[in-house]
């Protein structure tokens, strides 16, 4: 009963995020077939093709060769951050629609090149911010769009780990990733916060960037000790962002920080009519607050997490919903949820936090 046109997808970068999110989610989408796999390590591409690909799937070590694969329509770019822009642009020029994993690029110039290329080629482009598809994010987005919180003028975006330094891949390599926790997990918290506020006009950024714990030998870490010589990124970074309308966002990110206030991928929003945060319990993550009839109140909506799917889709998993929504958009059904213009603003703010951290001065955008 396959009533959807088939979509042929290629994967560039068959590492952690490909295996952890994209490939398992894509094969659940009706009519999608994975026909080409590229990785600098041929065995990784072969393994991915064997697990997720069509019987005759192509395996490549050079993405330029993969882009010539017959019939290819969509490419997912899942490589280290430094190559996001180059590969995404090449894929769009080769006639493909592109899902690029977050962050969009390592700096705003590279991100802007992707936007320009999208405009030149008329291809579709999105960035992998799947936290927008969480049950709590989707519900809170409806509340914000409906004006339940009024004008949102203060927010805190949190991406704090106590000892959660990813020691695999190129996460610790500043050159390939463009940074550490700020660009890796801070980017998710900031994206979600800007999206909920529907405010993409930053004016001033002040940042502090620290590498205070990276030199520790045999450090406590959930994924085992890191090698200080390879640890060339920050271990925490903090940013103060003032928007053109005066709204203020405080962004906190860390992989290693001496704190017990550990919240990752969370936001706190304060508006004129009410407030909301994601700091509730596992079963009721969302908390609302405000005042009614001269009394303050708190409420905890039951999101039915784990019980019902929100969309007609079969899954409540953010990665699955992201893939479903993206492929639907490629087919001309439905809006693009994560617009590259929005991801570009995230990149500009992160870049400004790094810049301010380096030179100790505020950055005007």
Q: Delimit the domains of the chain by residue range.
A: 7-131+318-337, 134-314+345-364
Q: What is the pTM (predicted TM-score) of this model?
A: 0.95
Tell me the three state secondary structure of residue 17.
helix
Q: What is the pLDDT of residues 160-214, one digit of tens each?
A: 999 999 999 999 999 999 999 999 999 999 999 999 999 999 999 999 999 999 9
202: helix, strand or coil: strand
Please report how the helices 108-121 and 84-93 are oriented relative to each other, as an axis angle in degrees rounded to 10. 10
Q: Which two tokens stand for residue 73?
A: 């329509």
Return d(Cα 104, Cα 106) in angstroms, integer. Answer: 7
- Give the number of C-alpha atoms closer than 13 A to the C-alpha of residue 175, restricted to the C-beta side: 1
Closest C-alpha to 244, from 347, 110, 349: 349
**C-alpha–C-alpha distance, residues 311 and 314, integer Å:** 8
Residue 305: what pLDDT? 59
Instruction: Answer yes or no: are the C-beta atoms of 192 and 251 closer than 8 Å.
Output: no
The domain 134-314+345-364 belongs to what CATH superfamily? Dihydrodipicolinate Reductase; domain 2 (3.30.360.10)
Cβ-in-10-Å burial (0-12, 13-18, 19+) of 89 comes to buried
Q: Where are the beta strands (DSSP E) in 282-342?
A: 287-292, 295-299
Number of Cα atoms under 13 Å in the Cβ half of residue 71: 13
**What residues in the chain have per-residue pLDDT under 70?**
1-3, 305-315
For residue 106, give the 3-state DSSP assignment.
coil
Residue 304: its pLDDT value, please? 75
CB 257 within 8 A of CB 160: yes
Q: How far is CA 213 from CA 177, 232, 258, in A?
A: 19, 12, 9
Length of the chain equals 365
**In this structure, which topology does domain 7-131+318-337 adopt according to CATH?**
Rossmann fold (3.40.50)
User: What pLDDT score was predicted for residue 1?
Assistant: 44
* Helix axes of 340-359 and 187-197: crossing angle, nearest 10 degrees: 120
The pLDDT, as a whole number, for residue 282 is: 84
Q: Where are the beta strands (DSSP E) in the chain?
A: 7-12, 32-38, 53-60, 74-77, 97-101, 125-128, 152-160, 202-210, 236-243, 248-254, 264-271, 275-277, 287-292, 295-299, 363-364
The stretches of 168-259 forming alpha helices (DSSP H) are 174-177, 181, 187-197
Place of tokens 């009533």: 3
How many CA atoms, within 13 angstroms, populate the side-chain half-sphere of residue 206?
7
């Amino acid at each position: 009963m396959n009533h959807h046109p088939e979509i042929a997808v290629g994967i560039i970068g068959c590492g952690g995020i490909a295996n952890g999110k994209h490939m398992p989610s894509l094969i659940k989408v009706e009519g999608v077939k994975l026909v080409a796999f590229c990785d600098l390590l041929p065995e990784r591409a072969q393994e991915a093709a064997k697990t997720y690909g069509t019987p005759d799937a192509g395996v490549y070590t050079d993405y330029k060769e993969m882009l010539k694969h017959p019939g290819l329509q969509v490419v997912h770019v899942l490589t280290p951050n430094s190559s996001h822009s180059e590969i995404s642009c090449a894929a769009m020029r080769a006639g493909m629609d592109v899902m690029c994993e977050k962050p969009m690029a390592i700096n705003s110039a590279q991100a802007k090149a992707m936007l320009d290329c999208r405009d030149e080629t008329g291809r579709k482009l999105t960035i992998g911010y799947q936290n927008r598809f969480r049950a709590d994010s989707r519900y809170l987005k409806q509340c914000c769009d409906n004006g339940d919180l009024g004008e949102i003028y203060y927010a805190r975006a949190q991406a704090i780990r106590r000892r959660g330094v990813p020691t695999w891949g190129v996460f610790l390599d500043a050159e390939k990733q463009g940074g550490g926790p700020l660009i890796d997990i801070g980017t998710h918290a900031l994206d979600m916060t800007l999206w909920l506020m529907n405010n993409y006009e930053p004016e001033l950024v002040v940042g502090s960037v620290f590498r205070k714990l990276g030199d520790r030998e045999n450090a406590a870490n959930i994924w085992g000790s890191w090698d200080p010589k390879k640890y060339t990124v920050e271990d925490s970074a903090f940013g103060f962002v003032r928007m053109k309308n005066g709204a203020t966002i405080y962004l906190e990110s860390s992989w290693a920080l001496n704190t017990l206030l550990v919240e990752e991928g969370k936001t706190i929003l304060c508006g004129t009519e009410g407030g909301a945060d994601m700091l509730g319990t596992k079963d009721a993550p969302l908390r609302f607050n405000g005042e009614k009839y001269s009394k303050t109140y708190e409420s905890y909506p039951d999101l039915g997490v784990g019980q019902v799917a929100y969309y007609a889709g079969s899954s409540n998993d953010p990665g699955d919903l992201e893939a479903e929504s993206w492929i639907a958009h490629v087919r001309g059904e439905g809006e693009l949820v994560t617009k590259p213009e929005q991801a570009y603003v995230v990149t500009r703010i992160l870049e400004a936090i790094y810049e301010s951290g380096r030179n100790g001065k505020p950055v005007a955008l």
